[in-house]
Homo-oligomer: A and B are copies of this chain.
Amino acid sequence: MEFLVHIEIALPPDLSDAERALLEQGERERGLELRASGAITRIWRIPGRRANVGIWSAEDATALHELLSSLPLFPWMDITVTPLARHPLEG
């Protein structure tokens, strides 16, 4: 099943540069794994924001939550999930 996932990220302002760099490197690595495994089908940045919108694929909402909470930046994310149904145009 597919989901539209909107993620806004608000890192704490008092993070050191080293902590931030480490977190962002981990986030990128986990993101690449999720892209490679097909969990993230497509992902885009919302211009002007630390935010993205993506098409995620998971068996159900429980599996999706496990994928999302595996992201290193998860504690600082505000996430909105929209379930997606097949559209007749996609036959």
**Chain A interface (Cβ within 8 Å of chain B)?**
1-5, 7, 12-13, 28, 31-32, 35, 40, 42-49, 52-55, 60-62, 64-65, 68-69, 77-90
Contacts and interface: CB of A to CB of B under 8 A. Distances in A.
A62 B43 contact: no
A37 B86 CA distance: 20
Contacts of A62: 1, 45, 47, 85-86
Copies of the chain in the assembly: 10
Nearest to A69: B48
Contacts of A54: 87
A45 B1 contact: no
Given A13-B12, A68-B47, A83 B85 contact: no
